[in-house]
Amino acid sequence: MWTLIRTKNKTKLIIISLFIIFTISTNSKNNFIDQLDKNNNLEIPNELNLKKPKNSGFWPLNFIHVDGNIVGNWSATAALDWCGGNGSSGNPYVIENVTIDAGGTGNGILIENSINFFIIRNSTVYNSGSGNEDAGIKLQSVSNGTLINNNFSNNNNYGIYLQDSDNNMAS
């Protein structure tokens, strides 16, 4: 007799537990769906001030030279289709999607005397010169540069050459 009562109690306990679990999971699902709906209706502040992204492109070039000691040199470079930004930490100059055949002489990209923030990404530089300091990219007296996902191969001396430079990163 006690066994029958225990079995009935266990059955009731299992049924009540399943009912509670089902109720909690249904409420959680509804809360999750409500949260998704709220996220889809978020307003973007200053939506009218968003910049239109540049079209992606591909630019074959012979050489890029930026000298931070020359007034307006970076801003003139930033006005070209393959570059943008203003050199601040929040909006660095960005050189991207360029392919440079250095023609067997000098550097493919030379950036010198600059403390402006800049990024060079998704670019290929090859066929630099064979001089002692010639490279696919040479950074001379430069800080705050970032090189991302570039190919500096098939150069006669160096792929990347840094001279008197600090706080630069390559990945």
Q: Is the model's pLDDT at 24 over the cut of 60?
A: yes
pLDDT at 89: 94
Higher pLDDT: 87 or 22? It is 87
pLDDT band at 16 (very low <50, low <70, confident <90, very high): confident
pLDDT reported for residue 27: 58
CA distance linking residue 56 with residue 53, whole number of Å: 9
Task: Tell me the two tokens of residue 145.
Answer: 């540069």
pLDDT tens per residue across span 106-157: 999 999 999 999 999 999 999 999 999 999 999 999 999 999 999 998 999 8
Residue-level pLDDT at 25: 66
Residue 19 and residue 27 in contact, taking contact as beta carbons nearer than 8 Å: no
**Best CA proximity match to 112, nearest among 60, 163, 53:** 163
pLDDT averaged over the chain? 83
On whether the pTM is more than 0.75, the answer is: no
Please report where in the chains the tokens 């300091």 appear, as a residue. 133
- For residue range 81-103, what is the model confidence (pLDDT) as tens digits? 889 999 999 999 999 999 999 99
Question: Is 80 exceeded by the pLDDT of residue 72?
Answer: yes
Whether the CB-CB separation of 127 and 155 falls below 8 Å is answered with yes
